Amino acid sequence: MALSRGRGRERRGTPADLMVVGLGNPGPKYEHTRHNVGFDTVELLASRHGSQLKGVKGIAALACEVRIGSARVVLVEPTTFMNESGQGVGPLLGRHGIDDPAQLVVVHDELDLPPGRMKVKVGGGLAGHNGLRSIKAHCHTTDFVRVRIGVGKPPDPERGADHVLRKVPAAERSILDAVVQHAADAVECIAVDGVDAAMERFNGIVVQ
């Protein structure tokens, strides 16, 4: 199923091979919270590959284009809050010539995985994640690739928002930082060797 693309300018020149979207909330209040591990991953990838995310005129996102192996990869952070993430993603798909869900990778926090775990997955449900729900609404598919970073469930199921938006204790933060490194490695593997290779190499990793 082709991705629905927004009203961004159509791509001029060679299309990108992959678009990697990190999910999170903008602003200092939310930096390095559990909900922002997607931002952390994309920012790490930009740094590794000598680039920096910058504003995109007329689109609610920061973005940059890097080379990972021979692949042209667009790194994206929406500048809306999490529940409107798709507003910035849709237009960028058209601008960078992305029309296959397999070319869209979304990195996000995952309550159903414990801290220290991450998994690469293709398609599936949204598990109540507002960022994924917004991307589905704007792109009209759930068949994109996900890099799911475990943040664990709160002791009180009714306090999920507090759990993902609070600052993380130092011990858990060191675990999350290590998993973010693995998530960035997994994205690089997807770009170079494909999704199946990334699943095989990274889905069994446990950081303690």
Residue ranges of the domains in the chain?
18-202
pLDDT tier for residue 175 given thresholds of 50, 70 and 90: very high
pTM: 0.92
Task: Assign 3-class secondary structure to 14-61.
Answer: CCCCEEEEECCCCCHHHCCCHHHHHHHHHHHHHHHCCCCCEEECCEEE
pLDDT of 12 reads: 53
Please name the CATH architecture into which domain 18-202 falls: 3-Layer(aba) Sandwich (3.40)
Annotated catalytic residue, options 35, 129, 138, 182? 35
Percentage of residues of the chain with pLDDT beyond 70: 91
Whether 17 and 32 have beta carbons less than 8 Å apart is answered as no
- The sheet carrying 71-78 orders its strands as 54-56, 59-68, 71-78, 18-22, 104-110, 145-150, 118-122
pLDDT tier for residue 1 given thresholds of 50, 70 and 90: very low
Among 18-27, 127-136, 150-159, the minimum mean pLDDT is found in: 150-159
Mean pLDDT of the chain: 90
Given a cut of 60, whether residue 10 has pLDDT beyond it is no
pLDDT of 153 reads: 83
> Given CA atoms 24, 29, 31, 32 in this order, what sign does their dihedral have?
negative
pLDDT of 117 reads: 97
Neighbours of 49 (CB within 10 A): 16
> Could you give the CA distance from residue 91 to residue 145 in angstroms, rounded to a whole number?
18
Catalytic-residue membership of 35: yes
pLDDT in tens, 42-67: 999 999 999 999 999 999 999 999 99
Nearest to 39 by CA among 78, 6, 73: 78
pLDDT tier for residue 154 given thresholds of 50, 70 and 90: confident
Map tokens 């475990």 to a residue.
Answer: 150
Q: What is the DSSP letter of 159?
A: G
pLDDT of 155 reads: 74
